[in-house]
Each structure stands twice: as structure tokens, then as C-alpha cells.
Amino acid sequence: MKHLPLPRRALLAGAAALPLPALAQGAWPNRPIRAIVSFPPGGAIDTTTRLLAPYLSESLGQPIVIENRTGATGTIAAGAVAAAPPDGYTLLFDASTHSSALHLVRNLPFSYTTAFAPITQLTSVPLILVAHPSVPANSFAEFMALGRARAAAGQPLTYASSGNGSAAHYAAVLFLQRAGWEATHVPFRGGGPAVQALLSGTVQFHMGTAASSTALAQNGQLKAYAVTTRERIPQLPQTPTLNESGMAGYEWTEWGGVFAPAGTPDAVLDRVNAAIIQALAQPAVRERLAAIGMLPVGSTRQAFATYVREQQELVGRLTREAGVTLD
């Protein structure tokens, strides 16, 4: 199975000096721009959107009006943007479910593969394989042996996710597929409840975000076995990656990105792309993202379009092979 690299964060280098391209028509924008967010206030994509909004407003010369259109695995927000005029005044700030919803939600009135013009990837969010302290394994190798033995004995380990079809769920599906043993999935309504279930010992392991799991691993409330990114994360420098622990090529993150309705003029898309990259390069933005466990990306339109397409294909394969559903 092909495992996809993240866009290089080096794309941000020098972005602060990147000139915003002029629009041929010169009139855009001349009124407020709506930023439709696919998840509720307080989540990763909402936090990122609100962090960037003042910088985008300054760059583009118009207010950024944030609207949270939540529910149905992000498809309510996506549907609103898909139906909007392709004039640059309605943007979708979406999360990893942009790659999975098309495989999980039936009878959508739009197509995730044709309804949107990708603008840029905003962030990537490392995940950490963490377990309750009672799990009798003190290293990744011991955890693998335990999981294999428990599955063979008909007493598989249990794992939490932030919901069926979530990034944490797919990260675990890919992990178990590579591990070669089974575990019992226990979905929760969000990452917070999943972590609380893990802390209480209701479940035994979880692919938690760096934001939700780092401090708990640092203070010993959880055991951290490995991270899902290509490189170790600075918050847990002693915790190896899954790739270096024996799962060659394993890589998975949550991500956030920006889209416009398909057909939006290239000049508009280029200007929004440049404004976002400039905002992501600001030291205050980068410091805030790092504090909450997110990494800035800031990719080109072309790179992000390729990344989204490849993610959709990978998630589609995992969905079919593991029988992932929303039920």
C-alpha cells in the first residue's frame, strides 16, 4: 500500500516576503468574504480559521466573516460552499473528513472530487499511539507482542476513536492492517470523550492528536509508544515514529485546508493562496499552532490538489478493505 508524504513545511520559507498577485479584473474583493467552517467552535479547523482571519482580512482588505456549518461529517458546510457562486466570496475551511466523507455519506447532492477548487493545506496534526498505564507493555515492540497475543487468544485489545470515519479511526485501521492483528473499535463523539475513555481505562489504546495527548504522555497519565509522522515531534523527542519502529512507510496525520467552489477564477484563488501562506508564516501564528500541536503547511494550489486526490484514494482503499462505515 502506498503511504503518502506530507507537503513540505519548507513551502513556508520566505513566504512573509511573497507578493500578493494582482487580479486582472482589479475589483475583487469589494465586500466581506465568508469563511464557512465544517466543524464546531473550539475544534482544530475552527481554531486555525479564527487565528488566520485577522491576517487574511488585512491582506485582502475585507472582513472575513466566519460561519460554523456543522454536522453530517462536514458535508453540511461542504454542500453550502459547493452551491455558492464561484466568485471568491465563499470559502470552505475543512478538515481531514474532506477525504473520507465521499466514501461514507450517501446521496450527497455534490461531488467532493469535482465541486471544489483546492487552495492550500493549512496544517497537519501529528497523531500519537498512546495507551492506558495499565496496559502491560512498556515499548512499541512489547505493545505489538501484546496485541498479537491478545488477538490470538480471542481477547483483542480495545481502542478509542473520535468517531467512525474520523482521522483517528483511519489511523488505527491503517496501523492494525500493517500490524497484522485485530483490535476492537470503540467510537466516541469527538477526541475529548475518546481521551477521557482512555484515561478511565474503559479502552486500552488510542491514536490521539498531539494536542490532546502530549501533556498526558509527558506526565505519565498515558504511555506513548510511537508517533504517526515521518519525523519525531519536538514535544516528545524520545518517542519514535511508527516508521522507525518497524512499520516502514507508515505516515498519517489529521489536516486542515481551504477550498473554493469549482470555477472560481484562478486570479482569485492565487490571491487567497498567497494571503494564507503569508499569514501562516507570521511568528505569532506559528507559535500558537505549535502550542496546540499543529504544524503549519502552506502548500501551492497544485500540491494541495494532488495531496487531496491521493488522500481520497488512500482513504477509499482503507474504507473498502476494512469495511469502515458511519454506523
User: What pLDDT digit, counting tens, does each position of 86-115 carry?
Assistant: 999 999 999 999 999 999 999 999 999 999
Give pLDDT tens digits for 117-173.
Answer: 999 999 999 999 999 999 999 999 999 999 999 999 999 999 999 889 999 999 999
13 and 120 in a single domain? The answer is yes
- With contact defined as beta carbons under 8 Å apart, do 81 and 90 qualify? yes
Classify residue 185: in a domain, yes or no: yes
Query: How many separate domains does the chain show?
Result: 2
Classify residue 245: in a domain, yes or no: no
Please state the pTM of the whole predicted model: 0.87
Task: Judge whether residue 215 has pLDDT over 50.
Answer: yes
Classify residue 246: in a domain, yes or no: no
- Kindly indicate the confidence band of residue 211, based on its pLDDT and cuts at 50, 70 and 90: confident
CATH of the domain at 308: 3.40.190.150
Task: Judge whether residue 15 has pLDDT over 80.
Answer: no
**Does residue 126 have a cis bond before it (omega within 30 degrees)?**
no
Classify residue 240: in a domain, yes or no: no
78 and 183 in a single domain? The answer is no
Buried b (16+ CB within 10 A) or exposed e, 182-209: ebebbbbebbeebbebbbeeebbbbbbb
Task: Judge whether residue 81 has pLDDT over 50.
Answer: yes
197 and 49 in a single domain? The answer is no
Classify residue 137: in a domain, yes or no: yes
198 and 211 in a single domain? The answer is yes
DSSP letter at 73 equals G
13 and 86 in a single domain? The answer is yes
The whole-number average pLDDT for the span 186-213 is 93
Task: Judge whether residue 19 has pLDDT over 90.
Answer: no
Phi, psi (degrees; rounded to nearest 5) at 22: -80, 145
Classify residue 327: in a domain, yes or no: no
pLDDT at 9: 41
- For residue 199, what are the domain limits? 126-227
131 and 103 in a single domain? The answer is no
CATH of the domain at 187: 3.40.190.10
Task: Judge whether residue 12 has pLDDT over 50.
Answer: no
Task: Judge whether residue 178 has pLDDT over 50.
Answer: yes
202 and 140 in a single domain? The answer is yes
Question: What are the grid coordinates assigned to 276, written together?
Answer: 494564507
Phi, psi (degrees; rounded to nearest 5) at 226: -165, 160
- Kindly indicate the confidence band of residue 40, based on its pLDDT and cuts at 50, 70 and 90: confident
Who has greater pLDDT, 203 or 191? 203
The whole-number average pLDDT for the span 229-244 is 94
pLDDT at 327: 80
148 and 200 in a single domain? The answer is yes
